[in-house]
Amino acid sequence: MSFALTREGIKPVAKGFALALALFQIWFTTGFGVLDGSMMRVMFVSFITVLVFLFIPGRKYKENEKEPTLFLLIDLCCAGLAIATAVYFALHLTEITTRMRYIDDVTPAAKFFAAATVLLVLEITRRTTGWALVIVASTLILYAFFGDMLPRAVKHTGFTFDVIVEHLFLLNEGVYGIPIGVATSTLFGFIMFGAFLERSKMSSIFMDLACLLTRNSQGGPAKVAIFASALFGTISGSAAANVYGTGTFTIPLMKKVGYRAPFAGAVEAVASTGGQLMPPVMGTAAF
C-alpha cells in the first residue's frame, strides 16, 4: 500500500486523530477518565490544532491546483509542535500546577512552548474563521507588550515577558481559559451528538416538525429555519452546531424560494444564536 504525501494521502491519519479526540472526550466527560483539568484543556487544544493543520490547508486552492509539498510539510511540523506542547505539559504538570504564580521563574522551555502555542492558535483561527479574530487577539497581545509606551489615556504600567507567558500559557486564564474549559467539559459532547444526529439523518425529524408547524404560514422557509434552529438548539447548546445541523437544509431552501443569500444566511445565524439558549442545554456555548 503506497502512501502519498498529499492532503488526501494524510486523511486517514487525520481521521484517526479525529476518532482519538472523540474517544478521548467520551472517556473524560462520561466520568470514566480522571485527568487534571489543566491537562485536559491542553490535550483538547492540541488535538484541535493537529486536526486543523491536517484537514485545512493554509489557503484555498483551485480545483486543478496542487498544494506544494513544502507547505504540507510545514503543516505537519506545526501539528507535531502541538503534540510536543501537550507532551511538555504532561511531563511538567506537577511543576506547572504547584508553582507560585507570578513569583517562580518561567523556564526557557515554557517560553518557547508558550510562544509556539499562541502562534499556532492564531493560525488555526485564521484558517477556520478568517482574519477578524486574529487581528483582535494580536492587537491585545501587542498591547500587553507595548501598552506602557502608549499615551497616558490608554497606557498601562507594563508587563514583563515572563508575566505574559505565565498568563497566556501556564495559567487557566489565557489560551486555556474558561471558554476552552466549557468546550472541553460540555460543549464538545453536544456538538458530537449533533453530528451523530446529522449523519444518521435523525435531524430530519426537526425539519419535518418545523415544516409541519409552518406549512400554512407566509414566509414559510424562514420560519422553518427559526423553528428548526429552536428545536435543534435543545440538544446542541451551540450556535455553530445549530447552523451545521439545520443551516445546510434551511439556507438552500430559503434561496430556492427567492430569499437573497445574505438574508437567508442572516436568518439562520440569528435563529441558531437564539436556539442555543433553549432548555435543557440553555447556552452551554454562550456561557
pLDDT tens-digit readout, 190-217:
777 767 776 777 767 767 777 777 777 7
- The segments of the chain whose pLDDT lies below 70 read 1-4, 33, 194, 198, 203, 206, 236-237, 280-287
Can you give the residue ranges of every domain in the chain?
Answer: 7-185, 201-276
pTM for this entry: 0.80
Give the per-residue pLDDT at 89: 95
Give the per-residue pLDDT at 282: 64
pLDDT tens-digit readout, 128-179:
989 999 999 999 999 999 999 999 999 999 999 999 999 999 998 899 998 8
Helices (H), the chain: 11-29, 37-55, 69-91, 93-98, 108-129, 131-146, 161-165, 178-182, 188-199, 204-213, 220-236, 239-242, 248-256, 261-275
Give the per-residue pLDDT at 40: 92
